[in-house]
């Protein structure tokens, strides 16, 4: 499956910069979208780049909340 | 032992399906022997006994090169009609390959991830390395020269093992992206800094097996002392 990345906003980057990593260089997050959908267990690289699958067409404006994923 | 196959056996093997990409696991009887033996055959022409010495022999092939190994090997005196593909065993080869990787690349198996292990203080002398695709790695506070809270590194020893064995850091540290690692940040935590260390667990289709160290509270100021290009020791 192909993937692509979007750059998060400064406030999202700032928030993630203060959250623990899940492994070297990445965090696993849940995203709440404007539509009400919640995308779970997505990868963010370097607190900045959200990695998405090709079929998940998203803009950063679609995200209203980003949180670390909790198992 | 390592063997080359006779042309007739190569022809037979070509008519049989592969077990995995580029190899077949077969069984068959040698001439003048009743016992059925198993082999891993590469490219339908180089056979290796599937026994306790398999990893050693596989290593020899890699060290010598396929052609040299082929030239130096004795022929496999197997009865062509007895050759069969072993079914239901691909995981065995996978396991052996995985064990080979552990041995060749000095990776570790089992154990727990860093967060599962108890906290310990650093001794003030040990160096840790954070590998990254990004020069502006967000987990490094460049102003205070420290690792920020909740960040991972590996140990200097494991980093050296990764480099000197020509290992793939993306697989070793089970990273979610295939972006090439370009940078290495060297950190020598102060004695009061606390970490948890463990073994990178398989994730994202990667095997892991490197060492990871998690700094829940980050490291003290001025503990980042060096930034180098990845792979430059």
Residue found under tokens 């829940």: B216
Give the lowest-confidence range in B96-110, B148-162, B205-219.
Answer: B96-110
pLDDT of residue B90: 45
Residue B92 is assigned to a structural domain of this protein = no
Q: Which of B59, B85, B111 is the last residue of a domain?
A: B85
pLDDT of residue B97: 55
Is the domain of B38 the same as that of B78? Answer: yes
Is the domain of B36 the same as that of B106? Answer: no
Residue found under tokens 């260089």: A25
CA A28/CA B99 separation, integer angstroms: 29
The answer to whether the CB atoms of B152 and A18 lie below 8 A apart is no
Instruction: Round the average pLDDT of chain B to a whole number and report it.
Output: 87
Residue A32 φ/ψ region, left for φ over 0, alpha for ψ in the -120 to 50 degree band, beta for the rest: beta
Residue B111 is assigned to a structural domain of this protein = yes
Mean pLDDT for the stretch of residues B30-50? 87
Residue B94 is assigned to a structural domain of this protein = no
pLDDT of residue A22: 95
A34 min Cα distance to partner chain B (Å)? 26
Q: Which of B32, B58, B85 is the last residue of a domain?
A: B85
pLDDT tens readout for residues A39-65: 999 999 999 999 998 888 899 999 999
The answer to whether the CB atoms of B179 and A45 lie below 8 A apart is yes
Mean pLDDT for the stretch of residues B59-75? 84
Is the domain of B80 the same as that of B45? Answer: yes
Count Cβ–Cβ pairs < 8 Å, chain A vs chain B. 66
Nearest CA to B192 out of B227, B217, B229 is that of B217
Mean pLDDT for the stretch of residues B82-110? 72
Number of domains in chain B: 2
Predicted confidence (pLDDT) at residue A1 exceeds the cutoff of 50: yes
The answer to whether the CB atoms of B150 and A17 lie below 8 A apart is no
Which DSSP state fits B66? H
Is the domain of B136 the same as that of B199? Answer: yes
B119 pLDDT band (50/70/90 cuts)?
very high
Give the lowest-confidence range in A46-50, B64-68, B131-135, B215-219.
Answer: B64-68
Q: Which of B61, B85, B109 is the last residue of a domain?
A: B85
Mean pLDDT for the stretch of residues A18-23? 95
Q: Which residue of A has its CA nearest to B134?
A: A46
Is the domain of B220 the same as that of B138? Answer: yes
Alpha helix ranges (H) inside B73-229: 90-104, 156-164, 169-172
DSSP β-ladder status, B74-75 and B2-4: parallel
B107 pLDDT band (50/70/90 cuts)?
very high
Handedness of CA A27, B208, B181, B226 (dihedral sign): positive
Residue B93 is assigned to a structural domain of this protein = no
Is the domain of B108 the same as that of B34? Answer: no
ipTM of the complex: 0.79
Residue B112 is assigned to a structural domain of this protein = yes
The answer to whether the CB atoms of B138 and A13 lie below 8 A apart is yes
A7 pLDDT band (50/70/90 cuts)?
very high
Residue B91 is assigned to a structural domain of this protein = no
Is residue B220 a contact partner of residue B145, using CB atoms and an 8 Å limit? Answer: no
In the structure encoding, which two tokens stand for residue B42, read together?
Answer: 């590469």
Residue B7 is assigned to a structural domain of this protein = yes
Give the lowest-confidence range in B88-92, B151-155, B227-231.
Answer: B88-92
* Residue A1, burial from CB neighbour count under 10 angstroms (0-12, 13-18, 19+): exposed
Is the domain of B103 the same as that of B214? Answer: yes
pLDDT of residue B19: 67
Q: Which residue of B has its CA nearest to A24?
A: B152
Is the domain of B48 the same as that of B125? Answer: no
Q: Which domain holds residue B141?
A: 99-229
Predicted confidence (pLDDT) at residue B148 exceeds the cutoff of 80: yes
In the structure encoding, which two tokens stand for residue B147, read together?
Answer: 């690792």
Residues of B in Cβ contact (< 8 Å) with A23: 152, 173-176, 200, 203, 212
Alpha helix ranges (H) inside chain B: 7-14, 54-64, 66-72, 90-104, 156-164, 169-172
Handedness of CA B13, B15, B16, B20 (dihedral sign): positive
Is the domain of B30 the same as that of B104? Answer: no
Is the domain of B167 the same as that of B71? Answer: no
pLDDT of residue B131: 95
Residue B113 is assigned to a structural domain of this protein = yes
pLDDT of residue B42: 83
pLDDT of residue B93: 52
């Amino acid at each position: 499956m192909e993937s692509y990345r979007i750059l998060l906003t400064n406030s999202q980057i700032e928030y993630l910069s203060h959250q623990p990593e899940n492994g070297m260089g990445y965090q696993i997050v849940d995203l709440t979208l404007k539509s009400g959908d919640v995308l779970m267990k997505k990868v963010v690289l370097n607190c900045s780049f959200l990695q998405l699958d090709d079929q998940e067409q998203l803009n950063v404006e679609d995200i209203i909340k980003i949180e670390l994923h909790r198992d | 032992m390592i063997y080359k196959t006779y042309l007739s056996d190569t022809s037979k093997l070509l008519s049989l399906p592969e077990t995995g990409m580029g190899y077949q696991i077969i069984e068959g009887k040698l001439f003048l022997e009743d016992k059925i033996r198993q082999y891993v055959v590469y490219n339908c022409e180089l056979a290796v006994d599937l026994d306790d010495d398999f990893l050693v022999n596989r290593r020899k092939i890699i060290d010598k090169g396929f052609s040299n190994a082929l030239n130096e090997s004795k022929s496999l005196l197997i009865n062509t009609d007895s050759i069969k593909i072993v079914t239901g065993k691909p995981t065995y080869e996978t396991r052996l390959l995985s064990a080979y990787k552990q041995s060749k690349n000095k990776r570790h198996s089992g154990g727990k991830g860093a967060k599962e292990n108890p906290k310990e203080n650093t001794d003030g002398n040990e160096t840790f390395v954070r590998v990254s695709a990004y020069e502006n790695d967000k987990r490094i506070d460049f102003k205070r020269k420290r690792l920020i809270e909740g960040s991972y590194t590996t140990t200097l020893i494991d980093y050296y093992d990764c480099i000197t064995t020509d290992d793939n850091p993306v697989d070793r540290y089970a990273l979610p992206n295939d972006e090439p690692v370009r940078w290495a940040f060297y950190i020598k935590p102060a004695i009061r800094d606390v970490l948890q260390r463990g073994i990178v667990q398989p994730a994202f289709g990667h095997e892991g097996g490197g060492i990871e160290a998690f700094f829940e509270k980050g490291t003290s100021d001025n503990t980042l002392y060096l930034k180098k290009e990845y792979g430059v020791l």
